[in-house]
Structure 1
Amino acid sequence: MEKIIEIKNLTKLYENGRGVKDISLDIFQGDIFGFLGPNGAGKTTAMKLMTGLIRPEFGDVKLFGYSVTAEYEKAMAKVGCLIEIAEAYAYLSAFENLKQSARFYPDVDEQRIDEVLELTGMLKYKREKPKKFSLGMKQRLGLAAAILSRPKLVILDEPLNGLDVEGMIDMRKLIHYLAEQEQTTFFISSHLIHDVELTCNRIGVIYNGQILNVESTQTILRNYATLENYFVSEVERNGRVSGSSC
């Protein structure tokens, strides 16, 4: 199976002690990988390092075999991402925002823009401006931008933030559709345990900047009643919190 992401000894620490410490991880084609941890665990830092938004103090990330630090353009050529807040031009419509993004991709036309707007449930709002959008609608538009170029890897940082129950279900369906129909690999960070359980086929637990364990969702649920029970067990086993913390 093709290795899509290779993370080796990745380290980036801030003055407050937060960040990531000596992370190593492999993600394979077709994975819907859930990066599960509480706020402040290091998820966003890791994803910024993976996408070249910040540089590591030590270690490296390879996407499709290319180093993000040494061969950035080649590494990111088939990657779509949504890190932290979904940004958009407030004075342009949803369609016009995506048309701006489409300028970077020669194979993306107006038909593809309409297609991703429909996939994300935003087609009926294509002529409206993001300044009128709810947080959930902005997240949907951000996801539309992330999948616009038909990337083979999509990196999503807390993609369910701001979505209502219907929106969360729609997001899960879209992720599964793209993984099955277009063989898209996903790397998704979240602190929402239930949604990670329903969405991802492999899960890595990160706590205090370190990966505690990586396992398939199927194996986890064969040995634990819920993903939450597994998470608590991993954190306790690694001596990070007491049993009364969750």
Structure 2
Amino acid sequence: METVIEIKNLSKVYKNGRGITDINLDIHKGDIFGFLGPNGAGKTTAMKIMTGLVKPDSGDVKILGHSILDDFEKAMGKVGCIIETAESYPYLTAFENLKQFSRFYKDVNDKRIEEVLELTGLLEYKNEKPRKFSLGMKQRLGISAAILSRPEVVILDEPLNGLDVEGMIDIRNIIKDLAEKEKTTFFISSHLIHDVELTCTHVGLLYNGKMLNVDTTKNILNNYVSLENYFISEVERNGRI
């Protein structure tokens, strides 16, 4: 299996003592990896490092063989992402927002923009401005921007935030479809255990800044009633609660 994301000995500790310590992960092509942990576990810190927004204290991340520290442009060249919140230009329409983003990529034309808007359920709102959008619609627009360039790797921080049940199902199906048909690799953080269980092929548990375990969702559910049971068991086994 081709390794797409390599995280080696990654650490970042803030003055308040929070952060991440010695994280090691290998994510393979076509995986939907779920980075699971409670709020404050360090998920966003790790993802900020992965996307060059924060410098680590030690360790490195390689994406498609390129170090984010030594070769950032190549590392991020085929990556789409949302970190923390899905940002947009509030006074441009949904279509105009994606048109603006398309300027950063080759081979993204108006047809591709409409295709992505249709995929995320926003095509009928393409001429509306996101300042009038609900949180869920803003999240859909952010995901549209993240997949616009047909990236090989998509990094999503809490992608189902603000979505109703129908929206969650739609986005889950988009993620699964892209992973299966285009072998897009997804790295998704969430504190929503049920959504990770339904979406991800692999799960890594992060607690108090440390990785407790990494396994396939299939293997976990062969041994536990649910991902929630697995999470509680791993946390208790590691003496965290």
TM-score range, shorter-chain basis? Answer: over 0.9
2-side partners of 1:95 and 1:227: how far apart? Answer: 38
1:80-229 correspondence to structure 2 within 5 Å: 80-229=80-229
2-side partners of 1:8 and 1:180: how far apart? Answer: 27
Q: What is the TM-score of this pair, normalised by structure 1?
A: 0.97
1-side partners of 2:34 and 2:156: how far apart? Answer: 10
Structure 2 match to 1:237: 237
Name the aligned partner's letter for residue 229 of structure 1: N
Name the aligned partner's letter for residue 70 of structure 1: D
Q: SS of the residue aligned with 1:74?
A: helix
1-side partners of 2:186 and 2:106: how far apart? Answer: 23
1-side partners of 2:234 and 2:125: how far apart? Answer: 43
Name the aligned partner's letter for residue 5 of structure 2: I
- Displacement of 1:181 in angstroms is 1.1
Q: SS of the residue aligned with 2:11?
A: strand
2-side partners of 1:172 and 1:47: how far apart? Answer: 20
Question: What do residues 110-164 of structure 1 show as CA deviations (whole Å, max 9, x unaligned)?
Answer: 0000010011001111000010000000000000000000000000000000000
2-side partners of 1:222 and 1:181: how far apart? Answer: 26
Name the aligned partner's letter for residue 32 of structure 2: I
Q: SS of the residue aligned with 1:60?
A: strand
Q: SS of the residue aligned with 2:175?
A: helix
- Displacement of 1:85 in angstroms is 0.5
1-side partners of 2:77 and 2:88: how far apart? Answer: 21
- Displacement of 1:173 in angstroms is 0.5
Residue identity over aligned pairs, in percent, reads: 72
Structure 2 match to 1:244: none
2-side partners of 1:103 and 1:219: how far apart? Answer: 43
| 2:36 matches 1:62 | no
Count of residues in Structure 1 that have an aligned counterpart in Structure 2: 241
Question: What do residues 36-64 of structure 1 show as CA deviations (whole Å, max 9, x unaligned)?
Answer: 00000000000000011111010000000
Q: SS of the residue aligned with 2:21?
A: strand
Two-structure CA RMSD over aligned residues (Å): 0.5
Name the aligned partner's letter for residue 135 of structure 2: L
Q: SS of the residue aligned with 2:7?
A: strand
2-side partners of 1:180 and 1:13: how far apart? Answer: 36
Question: What do residues 80-130 of structure 1 show as CA deviations (whole Å, max 9, x unaligned)?
Answer: 001111000011000000000000112100000001001100111100001
Q: SS of the residue aligned with 2:16?
A: coil
Could you list the structure 1 runs, at least 4 aligned residues long, displaced by more than 3 angstroms after superposition.
none
Name the aligned partner's letter for residue 8 of structure 2: K
Unmatched tracts of structure 2, length 5 or more: none
2-side partners of 1:30 and 1:159: how far apart? Answer: 18
Q: SS of the residue aligned with 1:166?
A: helix
Name the aligned partner's letter for residue 2 of structure 1: E
- Displacement of 1:165 in angstroms is 0.3
2-side partners of 1:25 and 1:176: how far apart? Answer: 21
